[in-house]
Structure 1
Amino acid sequence: MEEIMRLFPNEMRQAILTKIGDRWGSLQEIRIRLFQPVELIFDRTMEWLPMLKPSKEEGIFIINQLSEFSLYRMTDELREGYITIEGGHRVGIAGRVNTSDGSVKALQYITFFNIRIAKQKIGAARNILPYMYDKSYMNTLIVGPPQTGKTTLIRDATRIIATGWKNVQAHKVGVIDERSEIAGSINGIPQHDLGYRTDVMDACPKADGMMMMVRSMSPEVLVVDEIGSEKDIAALMEAINTGVTVICTIHGKDLNELIRRPSLQMVFKQRVFERIIVLDRTREPSQIRNVYDQNLKQMIQKSGYVHI
């Protein structure tokens, strides 16, 4: 994890490394707030480094490491509020916001950092494959609150679908990776294994990217992370009407909460998703709580894993 540790001054780096120890596999986030204790979030717990309170100078060091001493080259990232670094890790940033005509122009006085650890878990999607495939792949919506492993699941599902498994041949997969979290691309090159037949539209707005991908790369399966806006839904419906199978994630607590959202009324009315997989927040990431069919009937859970 040198690509993460290089962000910190020596004393911070050593203190954080000592605290994490051999627990990198379960680490989810490193949260830095100037003049406040550093926070480490693991799969099952949260821990503080009470004596490690980053100073303004240490915050400037982190910013310089992120920007390679040129904030100008980070103009777009500063406006979006996050930066993707080598390894596919995403660093969220917050502070004073500069606006122009009611729109965010840039972030100034960056004083908060959230380093989200990108971990490719090979095989993480094995337990959802039996629900997503029945002679062909089905339009699938993966639902869960933050930190339930939605992106981890959709990343591994992409890898499996694009590589093939058992007697199922590899399919052409198009990934719309607006936040650079699925592929973790750096300069257009994915840092994660997404399989042999995957094409990625990186840092592209979902609503634009879906039809761009359909027109340019003719995918059989389209993968999108964190849909939600009315524009996202309209583009999703248009893509499905072209005959492409869509697999996507959405933030949500449960099915009932989604049904009440105005932006999703058309989706449920037309029974677009043949499978809706709801993840459990109370257990380890990427654990299934419920699975529903297109009629919103709960399915009997299939046992075992798909052997890849």
Structure 2
Amino acid sequence: MERRERKSQILNILAKSVRRIIQDEIPDFEGVQEIRLRTGQPVRVVMTDRERILPGEQKPHIMTKEEMRETMEYISHYSLYAYENELRQGFLTVEGGHRVGVAGKVIMEKEKVKNIQYISSVNIRVSHEVIGCADELLPYITKNRQVCHTLIISPPCCGKTTLIRDLIRQISDGNKYVKGCTVGVVDERSELGGCYLGIAQNHLGGRTDILDCCPKAEGMIMLIRSMAPQVIAVDEIGTSEDIHAIEYAMQCGCKLIASVHGLDMNEAKNRPVLGELIRRRMFERYVVLGNGSHPGEIRGIYDERGSVLCRG
């Protein structure tokens, strides 16, 4: 996706007054990660290396209720009701695969979230594709041109989703390290494919099938039964249901690419259910990411025994 196209997609969902400020103050969108709007608070833009208050800290623009309402109208195409299923998860996905997180008054029904009303906070997370960012990783997570079961361990905001996205694309299309495979993606939060109206906005390869907005555990089993994937990719596993579904998929002959929040191998080992998979050496490769100069910077790669294969 070109920078100009990405910028246009974001600007089109902002209230016109906020749009003008961002157009004037942020000419290049390459370093923009998030735009945070809160009613009664300054407009903030999170960049790669800093956070900016717009247009400046001395005279910040304070977001009004009217601007928030106008922004949500553009995001939802003037029909929040049509997006009720997405809103109950706390986010919407817009054209370009950009994710819009929302917060406000939560409406409950039968002890479950039904909807969110009176939206007072919006977090626009700008989708960035970095084609080729998984190049240096592929030689370590493949054997005989086949993918190894791989777990990516990463703190937040270290580029793990960007890295997984490029891994999926390369595994799906194939290259000198891996034969092109059918890949099933369970995209519970619409971050990997960034589907908009059912169509992936990010490049995930020609042999990739996506279950969008589907719970990970249920989605993995659905894909195995319906799409016969050779590889399954999921982002941010965590629940015991996720772990059991991963084990089931491995037993069915699927290779797994998964990620989990964590600082290092030791922290992952101490997770109640995930730790058991690690102790049983179910994963063949572990990739630990850290904050660095580019998305997906690798701190270390380990084999199933925890032996170091590569240090960043």
Percent identity between matched residues is 43
Q: CA deviation at 1:54?
A: 0.9
What is the rounded CA distance, in whole Å, between the counterparts of 1:191 and 1:300 in structure 2? 33
Unaligned runs of 5+ in 1: 303-308
Cα deviations across residues 162-197 of structure 1 (Å, max 9, x unaligned)?
A: 111126431111111111111111222111111111
What is the rounded CA distance, in whole Å, between the counterparts of 1:122 and 1:263 in structure 2? 33
**1:177 alignment partner, one of 164, 177, 187:** 187
| 1:41 is aligned to 2:46 | yes
Q: What secondary structure does 1:21 align onto?
A: coil
Which residue in 2 is equivalent to 1:306? Answer: none
Unaligned runs of 5+ in 2: 1-6
Which residue in 1 is equivalent to 2:139? Answer: 130
**1:153 alignment partner, one of 156, 163, 166:** 163
Q: What secondary structure does 1:25 align onto?
A: coil
Which residue in 2 is equivalent to 1:65? Answer: 74
Q: CA deviation at 1:11?
A: 2.0
**1:15 alignment partner, one of 12, 21, 26:** 21
Instruction: State the AA in 1 paired with 2:43.
Output: V
Q: What secondary structure does 1:227 align onto?
A: coil
Q: What secondary structure does 2:81 align onto?
A: helix
Greater mean alpha carbon deviation, residues 165-174 or residues 205-214 = 165-174
Q: CA deviation at 1:301?
A: 4.1
Contact 2:289 2:296 survives alignment (8 Å): yes
Q: Please, what TM-score do these two structures have when normalized by structure 1?
A: 0.94
**2:245 alignment partner, one of 212, 235, 240:** 235
Q: CA deviation at 1:283?
A: 4.1
What is the rounded CA distance, in whole Å, between the counterparts of 2:286 and 2:26 in structure 1? 35
What is the rounded CA distance, in whole Å, between the counterparts of 1:109 and 1:154 in structure 2? 35
Q: CA deviation at 1:266?
A: 2.3
Contact 1:173 1:221 survives alignment (8 Å): yes
Which residue in 2 is equivalent to 1:32? Answer: 37
Q: CA deviation at 1:237?
A: 0.5
What is the rounded CA distance, in whole Å, between the counterparts of 2:308 and 2:113 in structure 1? 42
Which residue in 1 is equivalent to 2:3? Answer: none
Greater relative contact order structure (CA < 8 Å, 6+ sep): 1
**1:197 alignment partner, one of 186, 207, 230:** 207
Q: Where does 1:201-212 land on structure 2 (aligned, <5 Å)?
A: 201-212=211-222
RMSD: 1.5
Aligned residues: 301
Q: CA deviation at 1:103?
A: 2.3
Q: Where does 1:73-92 land on structure 2 (aligned, <5 Å)?
A: 73-92=82-101
